[in-house]
Structure 1
Amino acid sequence: MKTRLLSTYLLLLLLLLGSGPLWAQNVTVTGRVTGASGAAQPGVTVLEKGTTNGTSTDNDGRYSLSVPTSATLVFSAIGSQTQQIPLSGRTTLDVRLLDAATDLNEVVVTGSRASEGRSNILTTAPVDVISAREIKVFAQTDVAQILTYVAPSFQSSRQAISDGTDHVDPASLRGLGPDQVLVLVNGKRRHSSALVNINGTVGRGSVGTDLNTIPNASIKRIEVLRDGAAAQYGSDAIAGVINIQLKDDTTGVQASSTVGETYEGDGRLYQADANVGVGLNGRGYLDLSGQFSNRGYTNRTGADTAPLIYLGGNGGNYPASADSEQKRRELKAQDDALVAQNGYDRKNLRLGQSEARNYGGFLNFGYTLLPTIGLEAYITAGATHRTGKAAGFYRLPNQLTQTDASIYPNGFLPFINTTIGDQSIISGLRLRVAGFDVDLSNTYGRNALRFDISNTLNASLPVGLSPTNFYAGTIAFRQNTSNLNFTRRFTDVAALSTLNVAFGLEYRDDNYQIEAGERGSYASYGRLIAPGTPAAAGAQVFPGYQPTDAVNRSRNNTAGYIDLESDITEKLLVSVAGRAERYSDFGNNFSGKVAARYSILPDVAVRGAISNGFRAPSLQQRYFTNTSTQFVQGAPNQVLTVNNDNPIVRNSFTPGATGQQGFGIPALKQEESLNYSLGVTARILRTASLTVDAYQIDIEDRIVLSSQFSRANATVAAILGSLPVSQVQFFANAIDTRTRGIDVVANNRLDLGPGRLTLTVAANFNNTEVRKVNSSSTIDADQTGLQNTLFDRQQRGRIETGQPRSKINLTAGYSVGIFSVEARTVRFGSVEYRDARLDNPAANNGFLFSSIDQTFSAKWVTDLTLSVQLNKEIGLTVGANNIFDVYPDKYRLNELNNEQNFAVGALAYNSSRDNTNRGRTIYNPNQFGYNGGFYFARLLVNLPTSK
């Protein structure tokens, strides 16, 4: 709080300092801007250097701007080389812009602490650069989806019926987990989400960063470092680093508004954003960005194939009394009559994206206090408020343990409503001391997720007395990071061409909290459906966090690093980094990295790196505890998610011994990785670039959330003792994996006819293999398959084949005059579903479960947009995402359902608290979702400021 107040006072002071008068004499400068071919260039930004006084060229390439006679004008446009030209008293200035070599030659800062950035084809590791223009050109409006379609190594897809994961999209880089990629904002560590994914989605058991809390309007560019970087940045950077650079040089006001909906008529989107750039008399900048988004839900459910809606039991099956074909037909006819009479819709689920409303804003500010020593103060602050609503599984009127006919005579569809609050502030000072650039900063971030359950009930309350809304609790994560960094570039060190030296210290404090929900959201009030058959406790779909689940735990860590980078010769670049960390809860770690780049020809180079990395177990994984009621085939099961410190997890089991027995799992420790990469970069002629990079990532002791150990097993029953739960799951360093892959990126830009053509080919191919399962003596000693429960084949499938193992992106853009067209097609590779029941086929009643395993074939998804710059202030874009309305393959599970609805059709890939598919789950979400085609229109407004 003190940091935030200090930052606010500093901001007000500096704004006052920056409001002085302007004394220079102004003149009006006019001119015309053309391209390399001599054609007029509309929309070119013309800026007075060091200020936000600027304009843009009209349809004929002409401009007019009032500036001091001593001003320097900066001319910039996408795809062209920026030019800075002093006026020297002139009042007329015509400019011809030259083509930039390629978008891939942008200067990047991620992956190197050098005081001067390098072109990303000259770095030792591959870095993708996504510009603000690429962010805006298609219809994706949140960061995770933008990266999914632009960067082939990045993957994220929206989930359904997976509790909090419906509202925080899990994302991965190079096929690894959501928590194995580090996110930075302006080069500073971004805090993670409070949510740990505990349901049946990709990334199960992981904690990621909610990228969608950052408004698109605030982003200048995104740099994706595709290489291990724990030695440079610390924990989580096993797969790579995503650095979001915020706007710091915007001229005037830029705003956009987007509307659209799916071909099916749902998922309607209303989105608006704006960015305002204010110059502070040449000594700094103030960028303010805001975004509003209202996204409707989509629904692609199938019809419920439950034989009986009103007169059945146990998930809609026939009761035991219907023991003949004749009785079943009679009962079916009666039930069908009730369905028709009540107008019951068998499409009783909502499977698709959740509905969400988002308000967010960011401030990015910098001001030079003392130019003589380069003393600069900077502040970056943001806040997001997002509400969401997603459905669970429908409660049939015949599911008596879960419903109350006096409240919901036709059953009910419960909803999980979330409120996500995210706040962050970065404040710091930069200066130059003894030749070193010094950066002292503090970064604070907090993410909280509140759960409110609606259209539900607590079935254990007396008939007719249950509320239909409950507060189910809040989870929150806070992180505060302080950094002191020193950087200096030497040009006269022995025989070295250059030597960049960087070193620094970091102190970080983390806190994780769970707040219990109201009593009615979790308690049992004792109502019996029949003697010995209690009704389910807690709010249906999401029982609230109990007082025993509540937690408030913290930890801290201290780190020091050194980073050396040298141009040994004009051809050879070498970098070495080392980082030591000490965590208060599990001990020490050291990471190192060696990387090099060598030019074998003037335009061809090889590069490679070897490093070891780590990921500290998150506080969410260490301390999350929850007891919930989950229904399997209509039967309630009390499932305990217990933290790793609990005796149930940690103690060893000894038959006949007294005291708390346990699974003998060791304490959670850091994941450790070895990263290898080797690549080639090439510049072809003047307009094209090519990079090819292969990699291997070995990870030991990956943390996973186990499958559910059932009391039906004698060892598990002895461990659980008298606890009122039937199943238990926990976190463990359970597996070792190896990921191998290759990234290819090629880019070309050339003049074609009267316009310019841009072509990009980018691809990622990866394969992850689980090489070892790390168990315990207690689990290994059991001969009934407990090791398969610790890490079953369905979980293995999520890691090895649950996401596309290849992705290819082909993009083409053509612009001529005021018109442009952009086309992009992305090939999402195949994914595979594996059924866990094959771990124990003897217990599966003779069904052929191998037929449930399914591979979903690769698909091409194509986007197309058309844009026109109506004048220098207004542009219009129309288009469609997934223009050919492509869907993933359908689940074969639906073809296997039988009238009795035994277990063959009972499990969907992404089931949540009630794994009862019954023909309703049609598509696998983990390739590219299943919303189908989406058409949109976008209005863009650019209002430059002028004096």
Structure 2
Amino acid sequence: MNNLSATRLGLVTALSVASYAAFAQTVPVTGRVTNTTGQGQPGVTVLEQGTSNGTSTDADGRYRLSVQPNATLVVSAIGSVTQQVPLNGRTSVDVRLADNQTALNEVVVTGSRATEGRSNILTTAPVDVISAREIKAYAQTDVTQILTYIAPSFQSTRQTVTDGTDFVDPASLRGLGPDQVLVLVNGKRRHTSALVNINGTPGRGSVGTDMNVIPPAAIKRIEVLRDGAAAQYGSDAIAGVINIQLKDDTTGVNVSSTAGQTTESDGQLFQADANAGFGLNKRGFVNVSGQFSNRSYFDRSGTDTAPLIYKGTSAGNYPGGLTNDQKLSLKAQDDALVAQNGFNRRNIRVGASDTRTYGGFLNAAYTLLPAQELEAYVAGGLTRRTGRGGALYRLPTQTTQIDLGLYPNGYLPFINSTVDDASLITGVRGRVLGFQADLSNTYGRNSLRYDISNTLNASLPLGTSPTEFYAGELLFQQNTVNLGFSRKFLELPVLSTLNVAFGGEFRVDNFQIEAGELGSYANGINEQGRIITPASGSTPATYAAAGSQGFAGYRPQDATDRSRTNVAGYVDLESDITEKLLVSVAGRAERYSDFGSNVSGKLAARYSVLPDVAVRGAISNGFRAPSLQQRYFTNSSTQFNSGELREVLTTNNDSPLTRSFGIGSLKQEKSTNYSLGLTARVLRTITLTVDAYQIDIRDRIVLSSQYNRGNAAVAQILGTLPVQGIQFFANAVNTRTRGLDVVANERLTLGTESRLTLTAAANFNATKVRSFNSSGFIDANPTLQNTLFDRAQRARLENGQPRSKINLSADYGYKIFSANLRTVRFGEVQTKDANPDRAFIDQTFSAKWITDFVLSAQVLKNVGVSVGVNNLFDVYPDRLYQDPNNNPQSLAYSTLDATNRGRFLYSSNQFGYSGAFYFGRLNLTL
């Protein structure tokens, strides 16, 4: 053997020894991979970095792999952020996977209690998923406005001159009421608002959930289940479920600030938020978020066309029997007085109120016992929103509502609100006898306080009335205890898989009304400070209006403190019976302490016709329990109906006045839901879902129309009470809603640094009142029957919100730049007058396209900037009828109507009327 051969032999021997030594030094590593909720993730790839040495997790998310002592593990799964984890000498490594922000619209958990999520085209029911990136893409900073412009089936607009509804936006899903959609946070029931909407807005008579108290900075994603789910989640889920998932990442600190205003130089917005996520020694996380938002009012009112100061007129009207020329002559005299006194004919605010919001949210989890997989978690927040909105102007000629010594030219009362919201979710989850177990307690509290300023109580002696009043407070509290178990069985003799979930719930609801101060509701006060009541037989028109103008305070007899309990149990089964067929069955039984029991069920299925095409459908029955607010709310307020100013009494179902109409206690609404859909993946990059639905609701709870004391039967019931009308809640109508949802997405990679996402989504819906439920007393009085749910209320229910909405968007990114273009078509809405004799002012508002554009740049690694405009083309809704030329019959109405008088130019039920809004945003990552 020569020297070269010997050298080669020595080198080979040395390499072999080194390789053997390296192999001998490998160590076994074990661990478990979980998702963001702590559940084991099967099928996750665990790879030794730089090698082909790897494995995948089992059904419980566990793995075992022999690697080098100083190796780095690469843990990856579809829909999750890939993690690189250095061993640093450890032999046991648990990994919690975070959802991939670019894939959030693919994987969902709402609508199923399965232990792992599914793609939104693999579910039995349609689900929209809105990611944190989409939430921050445009200028909307309130959750309801964000959803309105992203999810076509969701609709919400800000209201104006509607008391408390100015500050709590009513929202709907699939054209149904605000109280027919259930809101969850981290999968736990969210409490509703304390406010019941009693004015002429969408959702009149309903109680919704104030989602705007949740800072968008705290939200990881929003899942919108567009299907009846009462059998799965309980009351309120007739139209569907909105699940808000809070952020759970540990990526540091993100700060954002947005500023903007409308082209009319009002509606200024300044908003700042921050989010910070931290790890807890690899055993948990803490994520905190905060927000400050200040939004100024905008005003799109018109000039008041009525006589304002001329003493020869009644309040906002002309004497009867005058010709048009005589009216014009009086108008000229009034105009001269208006100019002389420096009176502003734009005397109210129509648009949006001033609001200021402070809020903070927390989401955290910590593994207590790794061996037992026991984890504790907590989530919750505190928010305060203050607001200031205008009521209707009180003219100096309105003698029953004025004190000329205090307000010579009249006055505009302001309703000042304070909304306080608090929530806390605490719980533990882990594995018990092979099941994932979750025990939680969820507490929520929402209050709305009213303080009225720039006002008076006209029934007090002249010159003695205060100009500010505390008018009372509404409070709603809810506490829910949940215990749930779930397990996925993979090795069954017949079924491919079977997920079993079952559990129970105990809930306590509480509703309170606190009376305002004496002067806010008093009907005159004598020298001893006692309330003066009207003389027997007197009519309300013969004395000054009682209580604080703009919003009369809650009276001691309005005050209430009511509670109820609810006990529920559920079972939920979901099975991949074959590779093509997925079936789920759910059932739920509930018992309420105040009205009884209810049982609901659901059957849903999905069948793969082709590898990328499937059909899905569901049938279910559901229910909605009457809210405590609907059962026990009562107050007296100043409202307008058919052009008349009235003091209207809202009574609850325990009131003898309500009973006099033959109306009994409220009972639950019952629904039957049907859906049928198609899902497909086209050309690998396009996803398409098409879903049709029908929702029949029986005994739907509504707030009745106003019964006027001009009716003899009503006058007898009201007696000498100082009110002109009465309204109450009743299970008065049966409705049917039919609709179609279409969603298509395409993601294209145009190059190594270029990407494009296209989305087209649409909702088409129609609600019809099929029949009415009245009482024997009402049926015996035809005039009362026509008023139970008049044509104005029916139009608001059937056509008061867009019956169609189309959303088209394109998001393009190139290197550090991105551009977002979105246009939304809001379908037509319709209004009708309560009085058929005034049908000539019924109006249909045509559909409009609203276009938004945003340009962004990541100027530095940690600094991003955006500029944009919402409503790029400054589109407004059709104007309300103002010009007599619209209809010759409308001359008297357009110039004399005591409600409008040229001051209200637009309807607020379609998409609002702020016009174009320009903004800039700065994002910092620390």
- TM-score of Structure 1 vs Structure 2, range by shorter chain: 0.7 to 0.9
Correspondence for 2:360? 361
Q: CA deviation at 1:636?
A: 5.7
1:374–1:316 distance in 2 versus 1, CA, 3 Å = same
SS of the aligned residue for 1:649 comes to helix
Separation of aligned partners in 1, 2:261 and 2:423: 32
Correspondence for 1:291? 291
Separation of aligned partners in 2, 1:441 and 1:633: 50
SS of the aligned residue for 2:164 comes to helix
Correspondence for 1:696? 694
The answer to whether residue 847 in structure 2 is matched with residue 858 in structure 1 is yes
Q: CA deviation at 1:192?
A: 0.1
SS of the aligned residue for 1:836 comes to coil
Correspondence for 1:269? 269
Q: CA deviation at 1:835?
A: 1.3
The answer to whether residue 921 in structure 2 is matched with residue 932 in structure 1 is no
Correspondence for 1:617? 626
Separation of aligned partners in 1, 2:411 and 2:642: 17
1:705–1:324 distance in 2 versus 1, CA, 3 Å = closer
Match for 2:291: what amino acid?
Answer: Q
Correspondence for 2:899? 916
Match for 1:613: what amino acid?
Answer: G
Stretch deviating more after TM superposition (822-831 or 457-466): 457-466
Separation of aligned partners in 2, 1:815 and 1:80: 20
Cα displacement string for residues 761-802 of structure 1 (whole angstroms, at most 9, x for unaligned residues): 00000010100011111111113x211210001111111100
Q: CA deviation at 1:100?
A: 9.1
Separation of aligned partners in 2, 1:516 and 1:114: 47
Separation of aligned partners in 2, 1:643 and 1:636: 22
On the 8 A contact 1:604/1:682 being kept in 2, the answer is yes
Separation of aligned partners in 1, 2:584 and 2:325: 79
Structure 1 segments unaligned to the other structure (5+ residues): 1-47, 49-67, 91-98, 651-661, 842-848, 908-914
Match for 2:442: what amino acid?
Answer: T
Cα displacement string for residues 52-87 of structure 1 (whole angstroms, at most 9, x for unaligned residues): xxxxxxxxxxxxxxxx965546799xx997434456
Cα displacement string for residues 818-877 of structure 1 (whole angstroms, at most 9, x for unaligned residues): 001000000000001111111xx3xxxxxxx22211110000000000000011100000
Q: CA deviation at 1:616?
A: 0.1
The answer to whether residue 861 in structure 2 is matched with residue 872 in structure 1 is yes
SS of the aligned residue for 1:137 comes to coil
How high is the sequence identity, in percent, across the aligned residues? 68
Separation of aligned partners in 2, 1:326 and 1:859: 39
Q: CA deviation at 1:218?
A: 0.4
On the 8 A contact 1:291/1:361 being kept in 2, the answer is yes
Cα displacement string for residues 495-537 of structure 1 (whole angstroms, at most 9, x for unaligned residues): 1001000000100000000000001111111799999831111
SS of the aligned residue for 1:851 comes to helix
Q: How does 1:331-350 map to 2 (within 5 A)?
A: 331-350=330-349
On the 8 A contact 2:642/2:835 being kept in 1, the answer is no
Q: CA deviation at 1:606?
A: 0.5
Correspondence for 1:455? 454
- Indicate the RMSD between aligned Cα atoms, in angstroms: 2.5
Separation of aligned partners in 2, 1:648 and 1:870: 67
On the 8 A contact 1:261/1:936 being kept in 2, the answer is yes
1:592–1:748 distance in 2 versus 1, CA, 3 Å = same
The answer to whether residue 289 in structure 2 is matched with residue 306 in structure 1 is no
SS of the aligned residue for 1:133 comes to helix
Match for 1:916: what amino acid?
Answer: T
Q: CA deviation at 1:665?
A: 1.5
SS of the aligned residue for 2:299 comes to coil
Q: How does 1:645-656 map to 2 (within 5 A)?
A: 645-650=654-659
Separation of aligned partners in 1, 2:323 and 2:148: 53
TM-score of the aligned structures, taking structure 2 as reference length: 0.87
The match for 1:723 among 697, 721, 727 is 721
Separation of aligned partners in 2, 1:635 and 1:610: 46
On the 8 A contact 2:520/2:547 being kept in 1, the answer is yes
On the 8 A contact 2:581/2:605 being kept in 1, the answer is yes
Q: Which has the larger radius of gyration?
A: 2
The answer to whether residue 626 in structure 2 is matched with residue 627 in structure 1 is no
1:535–1:500 distance in 2 versus 1, CA, 3 Å = same
1:75–1:414 distance in 2 versus 1, CA, 3 Å = farther
On the 8 A contact 1:824/1:862 being kept in 2, the answer is yes
Separation of aligned partners in 2, 1:371 and 1:702: 49
1:72–1:349 distance in 2 versus 1, CA, 3 Å = farther
Q: How does 1:95-114 map to 2 (within 5 A)?
A: 103=103, 106-114=106-114
Separation of aligned partners in 1, 2:816 and 2:410: 57
1:633–1:459 distance in 2 versus 1, CA, 3 Å = farther
Aligned length: 838
Match for 1:301: what amino acid?
Answer: S
Q: How does 1:413-424 map to 2 (within 5 A)?
A: 413-424=412-423
Separation of aligned partners in 2, 1:498 and 1:631: 60
On the 8 A contact 1:315/1:916 being kept in 2, the answer is no
RCO greater where, 1 or 2, for CA within 8 Å and sep 6 or more? 1
Correspondence for 2:683? 685
Separation of aligned partners in 1, 2:294 and 2:647: 36
Separation of aligned partners in 2, 1:649 and 1:86: 67
Correspondence for 1:592? 601
On the 8 A contact 2:196/2:205 being kept in 1, the answer is yes
Q: CA deviation at 1:926?
A: 0.8
1:857–1:492 distance in 2 versus 1, CA, 3 Å = same
Cα displacement string for residues 203-236 of structure 1 (whole angstroms, at most 9, x for unaligned residues): 0000000010100110000000000000000000
On the 8 A contact 1:102/1:689 being kept in 2, the answer is no
Q: CA deviation at 1:487?
A: 0.6
The answer to whether residue 157 in structure 2 is matched with residue 162 in structure 1 is no
On the 8 A contact 1:537/1:629 being kept in 2, the answer is no
The answer to whether residue 806 in structure 2 is matched with residue 808 in structure 1 is yes
Match for 1:854: what amino acid?
Answer: Q
Separation of aligned partners in 2, 1:285 and 1:312: 72
Match for 1:881: what amino acid?
Answer: N
Q: CA deviation at 1:923?
A: 0.5
Q: CA deviation at 1:561?
A: 0.2
The answer to whether residue 563 in structure 2 is matched with residue 554 in structure 1 is yes
Correspondence for 2:371? 372
TM-score of the aligned structures, taking structure 1 as reference length: 0.85
Separation of aligned partners in 2, 1:462 and 1:663: 37
Correspondence for 2:19? none
Correspondence for 1:428? 427
Q: CA deviation at 1:102?
A: 7.9
Match for 2:760: what amino acid?
Answer: V
Correspondence for 2:551? 542
Q: CA deviation at 1:335?
A: 2.4
Q: CA deviation at 1:417?
A: 0.4
1:640–1:130 distance in 2 versus 1, CA, 3 Å = same
Match for 2:646: what amino acid?
Answer: N
1:641–1:667 distance in 2 versus 1, CA, 3 Å = same
1:636–1:859 distance in 2 versus 1, CA, 3 Å = closer
SS of the aligned residue for 1:155 comes to strand
Separation of aligned partners in 2, 1:618 and 1:627: 20
SS of the aligned residue for 1:494 comes to coil
Cα displacement string for residues 451-505 of structure 1 (whole angstroms, at most 9, x for unaligned residues): 0001111111111111111000000000000000011111122310010000001
Correspondence for 2:13? none
On the 8 A contact 2:644/2:899 being kept in 1, the answer is no
Q: CA deviation at 1:734?
A: 0.3
Match for 1:315: what amino acid?
Answer: A
Separation of aligned partners in 1, 2:854 and 2:732: 46
Separation of aligned partners in 2, 1:905 and 1:442: 58
Q: CA deviation at 1:894?
A: 4.9
Correspondence for 1:657? none
Separation of aligned partners in 2, 1:926 and 1:686: 39
Correspondence for 1:655? none
